[in-house]
Structure 1
């Protein structure tokens, strides 16, 4: 039991490896798994408020911007891509367009109606029209870019219109045209005319509404479309007013890829609760697995619960997801390298600011100012404790640090924390039964911008402040925090009144604030806190701080010269870390015979490498040249999914890895499209465990989550 719990928390560091395997997020000549986490390299960042697509395009073409933080219409892409030193990146977002169905109204509460609507909707056709075609069809409420999404793993899909199947479902459920008027009545014989509401302000919403109207008419449902005010019906969705079918967009996990929301958004416990369970969905089996998701402490149990919840959700269709959109960001390539796209922020990400470097021919890697467009004034409010509505569109500035950072590939990376050890009563009898205790060790070289050391006292103060400050937006996440106290300047203890995997996620993501500043602000002062940098001192700890601000025009940040991860300029060119690349994943017929999985390893002369098939090491050796081809024999004949992983470790402890998935099938011929990246979540969990173990051989990671 002790070992499995420790492993669960270790996996927080490696879960993002699934994202690398599946190809998301796509990194543009930038950060790869295993990259050195030193930064920032930039001298500064500027956010320019620029309105209008045409103005944005002209600004980047005229070299007045380096990056556009906005999604441009497809009509501009050709011009941008033909321009010198300008490229457009396309990366899937952690969001989707969706029809919410009121499961509290008859006969929309009948699963057969909702499934028939899903099969009748042409998602593929809609995805070619919606958002200028910059999206992909989606069935699950968990987007494809999430490592625990089961998208594509079921034996059915709603992507293509299947009218025969939809008609059969309605017939079997008792939806018949009793009065021969061309439209079906409900199973009780009553007439029903579901109303589809879409936003007049969005052409994509109007297109989606017309597709849904056509779908329902095609199977004999007398639906009607109303193009209306978005915020009026959105308010009814939020507060459980009257509606039938309404189109909206969802951003699942604005700040990370966790799935805790699955246990709140669709459980019967929250039917009628403001801003939760908009479809008024109720399903006892879903509630059971939601409880498992919330209160399990082992990662394997979390993964299983997430899979079961999605299986139920996709079948029951309390809402019908239509598509998952792309981030399409334009950026210049003449001065900077190292842009990093994430599924949460796109290319204008925290990691881009942190990792971008000047090119050598421009005097790099240090210095330079990255110029980014902004759709809003990022300096209008430096109070980081904004309301939830503000946080939906406000991207946090890189001013404060957290215990753990969500990496560009989705994995959690220890940041201020060096190690986190979790214990329950089963591990340690001194822990109260039903409680979870965390022991956290933090770095000893972080400082605040006024020169004050950042210590465990600041960390414990931050969590206690959030919990105790009346109405603080971070308070609900810490409602189960029983105690939090510093033991030394670099260690602290936290105890929660429940056992849950998600407690560690909670403490990892909250910003650490300076105790010596907020003691004076007081518990009641957080909402009125109104820092005005640079005229007034704003004590921060992050990689950048505010240097200049002109309202509604530009916000300038300069690098923090004393940042605890800042690289030394004197030896910046002395270390070149290895990297690993591979070909695409592989699909083979059973009995194919022996083949090889191949990797190219660069900048790794003298480094050790190990090859693994699933969780077992099969071979290893020493890289003998700067660029080497490493081949792993593969002769598995039984159908199944196999992960082939290479791990490279240098003498100074730097590690990198790459995984190639091989799927052996009974037969390739006659099957549908080969989705090489679609993998069973259980297999993904096994790989995460295997890679975690690989990286921690000879260390204390499994026991204490250290790095």
Structure 2
């Protein structure tokens, strides 16, 4: 039975396309009826560097910081008793996992990897390492994602089933050497398996790696664990590596790249070096299917193939816990994507007395490594940059698309508009008229067009190239505030590429007088004062001191800026000790309103309410049953 141990169940939400792609009009109901986008209400946000978690907690207790960007281990929960500190919890959109080198013999034998999966005891991690704040999970799509088919698998790798694993190895002729007690490979050679784990996480990563070693020993396999630094394994010389993977959204088009056989020699895309022809056969349907049923069928089949072949073994999906003070500010938003310290909290947080202004200080463990939006990889960089740049759409707190620059959108195929070439998909966006870059230059449709042109042109200077850029056929602006973007195929995923890409200022990045197409990876804003840093988000970058702090200030020219606080759209923090503020209240009316064009047979961009409600009901039933046992 699936075990659900969590404080707050995160509901998976996904953008769906049903039937064939057709023409739709997405109305501007967000602008007219909801003030989620309005803000910000504070003067500035200071991200203060405090490396050690104990020091961040002491700073939080003393009121020196208002929030902690990092997550804390549940073993520290009993130490949090202050009335002025609340706790946010959310099941992680990601997991801890062990990547297996599928090109290294005998790990290249899928039966060997499956035997290891059966022997690995995930319940030990839940009980011994995570103190109950995690759940066992198998699918390489996180449980919080509605595409996940975890509950449809015929078997699971949750408990120690080394008897099954040993039988698999016996059948594959992994004989046991009577002298050493360890198994030999089918070719008769002795071998050892080393599980690498990060030296920065001895408690969780080291403990999980040891459980992996114990699993291998239960299979009579010579094994040990070893600490590593990233540069030690960047060339792919490893047996198994334990590390965490987090996802920024609920898209799953990455399944078509990370385990694709043609990327088996590409360490960036396919670190497991996995190859499987049957898996590859589902790839095009996942990428270019135009109905929910087509994409779901491919996603399900691909998850099942990965579950059987085990290029990666998920070892836990844990609950994230964050601490924040509630005595000065309210309006914190529990974001399913960025949790309690995400951009929606930065947009909606305000002083308890309802007045404007104030400084919110957030503690974080590490320096942001870059403010180049094409290179940043750490959560510490993203925590700042997410507040600086616009996009046509944004993910709302409940992962439903929310209009940002876009006021409306129309999607057309040849069936809807004879001027659209057969097989093509055309997006038409109308954008806001009051957006201005931080240097005073108006933001227009030309900036949006240039953004996709820049992506297309810089692709020749980069590896890997941006997804779907090869399918882009045109991008142009027929008017100052209208953008048309067209692709040469129909795909479920094009909206995600168009809608959520950061928009660039053309006058800064152009190839004639600006950063240029080749300069995408050498541009070093903030850290190099000579480099341009022009933004258009709710905040602009203000000041920093390396090793100390990074400050962003309220953008008074932000296109959703307001001079009154609507507290009805914020989640107020209770002063109750150890209050758990699970999430921004999910409101299914937040789904973007849709008007169907005449003759169209499509419904696009809506919440999978039925799937989510079913997930929630299953979770409640399972949890209730366990409590009664």
Instruction: Tell me if TM exceeds 0.5.
Output: yes
Give the secondary structure class of the aligned counterpart of 1:476. coil
- Decide whether the 8 Å contact of 1:484 with 1:494 is kept in 2: yes
Runs of 4 or more consecutive aligned structure 1 residues displaced over 6 Å after TM superposition: 7-11, 533-537, 642-645, 660-664
Q: Which runs of 5+ in 2 are unaligned?
A: 1-16, 572-584, 590-607
- Decide whether the 8 Å contact of 1:69 with 1:372 is kept in 2: yes
- Decide whether the 8 Å contact of 2:472 with 2:488 is kept in 1: yes
What CA distance in whole angstroms lies between the structure 1 residues aligned with 2:419 and 2:241? 52
Q: 1:390 to 1:217 in 2, by over 3 A?
A: closer
Q: Which residue of 2 aligns with 1:53?
A: 53
Residues 261-410 of structure 1 correspond to what in structure 2 (within 5 A)?
A: 261-359=254-352, 363-364=353-354, 366-378=356-368, 381-385=370-374, 387=375, 389=377, 394-395=382-383, 396-410=385-399
- Decide whether the 8 Å contact of 1:139 with 1:158 is kept in 2: yes
Greater alpha carbon shift after TM alignment, 366-375 vs 67-76: 67-76
Residues 88-487 of structure 1 correspond to what in structure 2 (within 5 A)?
A: 88-130=87-129, 134-177=133-176, 182-187=181-186, 190-203=189-202, 204-219=204-219, 221-237=220-236, 241=237, 243-251=238-246, 253=247, 255-359=248-352, 363-364=353-354, 366-378=356-368, 381-385=370-374, 387=375, 389=377, 394-395=382-383, 396-469=385-458, 471=461, 476-477=466-467, 478-487=469-478
- Decide whether the 8 Å contact of 2:22 with 2:411 is kept in 1: no
Greater alpha carbon shift after TM alignment, 554-563 vs 316-325: 554-563
- Decide whether the 8 Å contact of 1:449 with 1:539 is kept in 2: yes
Give the secondary structure class of the aligned counterpart of 1:274. coil
Residues 294-693 of structure 1 correspond to what in structure 2 (within 5 A)?
A: 294-359=287-352, 363-364=353-354, 366-378=356-368, 381-385=370-374, 387=375, 389=377, 394-395=382-383, 396-469=385-458, 471=461, 476-477=466-467, 478-519=469-510, 520-523=513-516, 524-532=518-526, 538-569=533-564, 572=565, 576=568
- Decide whether the 8 Å contact of 1:97 with 1:248 is kept in 2: yes
What CA distance in whole angstroms lies between the structure 1 residues aligned with 2:298 and 2:286? 5
Q: Which residue of 2 aligns with 1:62?
A: 62
What CA distance in whole angstroms lies between the structure 2 residues aligned with 1:150 and 1:509? 26
Give the secondary structure class of the aligned counterpart of 2:66. coil
Aligned pairs, number: 564
The structure with the largest strand share of the pair is 1
Q: Which has the higher contact order (CA 8 A, sep 6+)?
A: 2
TM-score (structure 1 length as normaliser): 0.71
Q: 1:426 to 1:273 in 2, by over 3 A?
A: farther
Q: 1:498 to 1:145 in 2, by over 3 A?
A: same
Q: 1:8 to 1:41 in 2, by over 3 A?
A: farther
- Decide whether the 8 Å contact of 1:93 with 1:346 is kept in 2: no
- Decide whether the 8 Å contact of 2:64 with 2:361 is kept in 1: yes
Describe the superposition over 1:353-395 as per-residue Cα deviations: whole angstroms up to 9, x where unpaired: 0122222xxx3153222111122344x754433x255679643
- Give 1:407 shift: 1.8
- Give 1:267 shift: 1.5
- Decide whether the 8 Å contact of 2:335 with 2:398 is kept in 1: yes
- Decide whether the 8 Å contact of 2:116 with 2:165 is kept in 1: yes
Q: Which runs of 5+ in 1 are unaligned?
A: 15-32, 580-601, 609-641, 646-657, 677-707
- Decide whether the 8 Å contact of 2:332 with 2:570 is kept in 1: no
What CA distance in whole angstroms lies between the structure 1 residues aligned with 2:556 and 2:543? 17
Q: 1:391 to 1:65 in 2, by over 3 A?
A: closer
What CA distance in whole angstroms lies between the structure 2 residues aligned with 1:392 and 1:235? 22
What CA distance in whole angstroms lies between the structure 2 residues aligned with 1:214 and 1:503? 45
Q: Which residue of 2 aligns with 1:25?
A: none
Describe the superposition over 1:558-609 as per-residue Cα deviations: whole angstroms up to 9, x where unpaired: 212222222342xx45x95799xxxxxxxxxxxxxxxxxxxxxx9x9xxx9x
- Decide whether the 8 Å contact of 2:95 with 2:318 is kept in 1: yes
- Decide whether the 8 Å contact of 1:77 with 1:88 is kept in 2: no
Greater alpha carbon shift after TM alignment, 387-396 vs 123-132: 387-396
- Give 1:543 shift: 0.5
- Decide whether the 8 Å contact of 1:97 with 1:323 is kept in 2: yes
- Give 1:124 shift: 0.9
Describe the superposition over 1:504-540 as per-residue Cα deviations: whole angstroms up to 9, x where unpaired: 2112222112223334314244455455599998532
- Decide whether the 8 Å contact of 1:533 with 1:548 is kept in 2: no
Q: 1:3 to 1:209 in 2, by over 3 A?
A: closer
- Decide whether the 8 Å contact of 1:60 with 1:68 is kept in 2: yes
Q: 1:5 to 1:445 in 2, by over 3 A?
A: farther
Give the secondary structure class of the aligned counterpart of 1:467. helix
Q: 1:333 to 1:3 in 2, by over 3 A?
A: closer
State the structure with more CA Rg.
1
Give the secondary structure class of the aligned counterpart of 1:139. coil
- Decide whether the 8 Å contact of 2:22 with 2:412 is kept in 1: no
What CA distance in whole angstroms lies between the structure 2 residues aligned with 1:7 and 1:370? 45
Give the secondary structure class of the aligned counterpart of 2:433. coil
Query: Of 3, 16, 19, which residue of structure 2 is paired with 1:4?
Result: 19
Give the secondary structure class of the aligned counterpart of 1:507. helix
Describe the superposition over 1:643-699 as per-residue Cα deviations: whole angstroms up to 9, x where unpaired: 789xxxxxxxxxxxx9577979xxx9xx998599xxxxxxxxxxxxxxxxxxxxxxx
